[in-house]
Amino acid sequence: MKLADLRRLAIRKQLRIRFDLSEHGECLIDEHGTAKVPSLRAVPSFNLEEMLVGVTRFRLEQPDVTGGKISLKQTSLAELEQLVSSLSPAAVAAADHDE
């Protein structure tokens, strides 16, 4: 799975995806597809795409549309890959064209 897949999933499903980076804190991909590592204060010495390979646990947050609670779900890499594959192939192809 690539970072672009997670970004696409976050945008399409309006999710926030969080995962831990071994020594670098936590990464957040927001519902706009922006990947952020809040603990960074300078240009990182690592590639986020390469760090993603070692991640096995993810936290999915779905904000309530009324501005209320945020639902939180822990998920594995396999479950997340299923969510990514559930995106319609036509929508994924169209999104690839947009990038």
Query: Using one digit for the tens of pLDDT, what is the confidence trace for 11-22?
Result: 999 999 999 988
pLDDT in tens, 48-59: 898 888 898 999
Q: Is the pLDDT at 95 greater than 60, yes or no?
A: no
Q: Which two tokens stand for residue 15?
A: 């999710």
99 pLDDT exceeds 60? no
Coil/strand/helix, residue 29: strand
**What are the distances in angstroms from CA 80 to CA 2, 51, 75, 77, 84?**
11, 16, 7, 5, 6
What are the residues whose beta carbons fall under 8 Å from the beta carbon of 56, sequence distance 6 or more?
Answer: 76, 77
Within 10 Å of residue 1's Cβ, how many Cβ atoms? Answer: 14
